[in-house]
């Protein structure tokens, strides 16, 4: 059965088309998403929370992960799942502690003054992610750790054809970066960054519209996003619908 917009807003990551280095494992009432260094767990309906935590800890340690993040959506069961996680020694995440599940099923407004280009070469991708890291203030040590990995990852995702990268330009200068990840029934907005001095000029709006055009072109005119506090109000103004909140919990191993 095709997932509803609400389900995609709550669990987009669980519905990605195959993405290199994203491994999806179906557990007892949850989906566990493993990346090379981190993991997320998306609960649907868990009957034995302690057993699920024990399993996720063992699996994460087996993979060498230092933490696993629980994304507890508004429909997750049991209803006191967050309280049970806290009792089991799992802490609330703090940056941010909550995301908002949102979708758009009609075309958001464009920003004609901003040029958006698909990232199609490794060299262009390298410049694009450097901007992303600058916005998120990653230190040089972390950037150096990621650079070689990003080169390999870009080649893998281009070959798979499920992850798409976009750069935004104002007067020829690169000022924004965003990703889109294909799902069978829509496209997930996965990350977006705009240089501080370029904000309030339609850059983020242009990046959202470009990803809408991609979703429309592939015959799945729906955008889903788990939005943070900075992007929520912008997406409200672009016609996105709020479905509910996702509470984040971090199990540090």
pLDDT tens digits, one per residue of 163-188: 999 999 999 999 999 999 999 999 99
pTM: 0.93
Per-residue confidence band for 155, with pLDDT thresholds at 50, 70 and 90: confident
Rounded to the nearest 10 degrees, the angle between the axes of helix 140-160 and helix 122-135 is 140
pLDDT in the model for residue 201: 95
Length of the chain: 253
Per-residue confidence band for 37, with pLDDT thresholds at 50, 70 and 90: confident
Distance CA 206, CA 112 (A): 8
Phi-psi region of 5 (alpha: psi -120 to 50; beta: other; left: phi over 0): alpha
pLDDT in the model for residue 95: 83
Domain regions of the chain by residue span: 5-100+247-252, 115-221
Comparing CA positions, the residue from 227, 223, 224, 222 lying closest to residue 246 is 227
Burial bucket for residue 206 (CB in 10 Å: 0-12, 13-18, 19+): buried
Comparing CA positions, the residue from 21, 91, 24, 20 lying closest to residue 59 is 24
Q: Residue ranges of the alpha helices (H) in the chain?
A: 5-11, 49-62, 81-87, 122-135, 140-160, 203-217, 232-237
pLDDT tens across 185-200, in order? 999 999 889 999 999 9
Fold type of domain 115-221: Aminopeptidase (3.40.630)
């Amino acid at each position: 059965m095709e997932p509803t917009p609400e389900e995609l807003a709550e669990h987009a990551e669980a519905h990605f088309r195959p993405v290199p280095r994203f491994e999806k494992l179906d557990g007892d009432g949850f989906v566990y998403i493993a990346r090379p260094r981190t993991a997320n767990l998306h609960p649907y309906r868990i009957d034995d929370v302690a057993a699920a935590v024990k399993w996720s800890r063992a699996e994460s340690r087996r993979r060498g992960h230092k933490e696993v993040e629980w994304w507890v959506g508004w429909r997750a069961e049991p209803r006191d799942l967050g309280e049970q996680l806290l009792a089991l020694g799992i802490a609330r995440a703090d940056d941010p502690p909550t995301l908002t599940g949102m979708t758009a099923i009609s075309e958001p407004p464009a920003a004609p003054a901003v040029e958006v280009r698909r990232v199609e070469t490794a060299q262009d991708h390298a410049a694009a992610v450097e901007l992303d890291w600058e916005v998120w203030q990653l230190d040089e040590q972390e950037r150096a750790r990621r650079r070689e990995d990003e080169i390999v990852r870009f080649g893998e995702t281009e070959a798979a054809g499920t992850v798409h990268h976009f750069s935004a330009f104002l007067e020829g200068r690169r000022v924004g970066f965003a990703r889109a990840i294909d799902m069978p029934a829509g496209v997930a907005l996965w990350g977006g960054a705009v240089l501080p001095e370029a904000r309030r000029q339609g850059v983020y709006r242009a990046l959202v519209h470009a990803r809408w055009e991609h979703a429309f072109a592939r015959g799945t005119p729906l955008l889903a996003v788990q939005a943070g506090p900075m992007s929520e109000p912008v997406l409200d103004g672009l016609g996105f619908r709020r479905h509910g909140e996702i509470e984040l919990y971090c199990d540090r191993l």
